[in-house]
Amino acid sequence: MILVAGSINIDFAVQVQALPAPGETVMGSAYLVSPGGKGANQAVACARAGAPVQFVGCAGSDAYGDQLREALQSDGIDTTSLRRVDGQTGAAFVTVGSDGENTIAVASGVNQALREADLPELNGVTHLILQLEIPLETVRAFAQAARRAGVHVTLNAAPAHPLDDELLGLVDLLIVNAGELEALCGAQAGAGLEYQLEVLSGRGPKAIVVTLGADGAAFWTNGRCHRSAAFAVQAVDTTGAGDTFVGVLVAALRHMDLTAAVQRASAAAALACTQRGAQISMPRLSAIERLLA
Ligand code: ADP
């Protein structure tokens, strides 16, 4: 069983020609309302890739909370640890440009209510996936408990945030995008990628994957840097690509090594770029396998 702990949000997305500059208003037409949140997205990506998944998080007492719970359940995800909390469900306001790039502002709502006490029993859990849209102290407590129980810990250090070595030392697999890597690198910010990965790995994580958008991914394992190309697709919306990558990567690690798992995650993330939305654009195992064939 894979346990995903993190945020669950309702996403409001508007498509525009060019992303607005500060102070600028740009006009779009229709908007899309869809389930999101890095935690919930990664849980869905994992489940669609064929893994048994349990989600732990907090949904609000508004109608969105119930809607999001049902969305997870429809993907076969165990939601017994999704706590209903009085207050607003988290919400993300997404702007998508014509080139598929996006900007996102998130109102955390009750995602900030997730506490150490929410962690369910870890019996039967082999992998834990965490991100940074919930309180940092909860992330730390969950990682510590997982480490004690011998559970493999993946931290997707997103959104960008500097982290201390104590937390990094609890992480088996660290996954970041280029901006998040810079935020973690401190004195090494702006240095070459390979050097940054070497220094970062010295702070604790056993393996590190950096996603590089259309340039694919780089990963550090066993003291070496490797590259993996992206799959060529017509990208219309990259929202959820990073989350798809994380969820599918960890689902794949149950059966294969990091090199093969990164390739599988890249295929899934590329497919997620070909449709609008976060969870609704995430591929199923059959589509991933067709692209890999
Ligand atoms: P994030 O969305 O978290 O910033 P990235 O932009 O790095 O993450 O994208 C995550 C992964 O999604 C990449 O490593 C790549 O595999 C895939 N991806 C992103 N953009 C494209 C694209 N234009 N074409 C193909 N694959 C893409």
- Identify the band that residue 276 occupies on the pLDDT scale cut at 50, 70 and 90: confident
pLDDT at 30: 85
3-state class of 44 per DSSP? helix
User: What share of the chain in percent tops pLDDT 90?
Assistant: 90
CA 163 to chain centre: 17
Q: Is residue 243 annotated as part of the catalytic site, yes or no?
A: yes
Active-site position among 78, 118, 172, 243: 243
Does the beta carbon of 233 lie inside 6 Å of ligand 1? Answer: yes
Testing ligand 1's pocket by substitution, the residue of 227, 248, 271, 273 carrying the most ligand atoms inside 8 A of its CB is 273
Closest residue by Cα to atom 5, ligand 1, is 213
Closest residue by Cα to atom 22, ligand 1, is 214
Q: In whole angstroms, give the CA distance from residue 78 to residue 101.
A: 32
pTM: 0.95
pLDDT at 154: 98
Its ipTM equals 0.98
Residue 189 scores a pLDDT above 80: no
In the predicted model, what is the mean pLDDT of residues 21-27?
Answer: 95
Tell me whether residue 192 is exposed, middle or buried, using C-beta atoms within 10 angstroms of its C-beta: 0 to 12, 13 to 18, 19 or more. exposed
pLDDT at 70: 97
Residue 2 scores a pLDDT above 90: yes
In the predicted model, what is the mean pLDDT of residues 14-36?
Answer: 93
Does the beta carbon of 269 lie inside 6 Å of ligand 1? Answer: yes
Strand order in the sheet with 53-59: 78-84, 53-59, 2-5, 127-130, 152-156, 173-177, 207-211, 217-221, 224-228
Ligand 1 centroid from CA 265, angstroms: 10
Residue 238 scores a pLDDT above 90: no
pLDDT at 191: 83
pLDDT at 29: 86
pLDDT at 59: 98
Q: In whole angstroms, give the CA distance from residue 278 to residue 42.
A: 10
Residue 41 scores a pLDDT above 90: yes
Rg (CA), the chain: 18
Ligand 1 centroid from CA 80, angstroms: 31
pLDDT at 100: 75
Does the beta carbon of 181 lie inside 6 Å of ligand 1? Answer: no
Residue 101 scores a pLDDT above 90: no
Ligand 1 centroid from CA 195, angstroms: 22
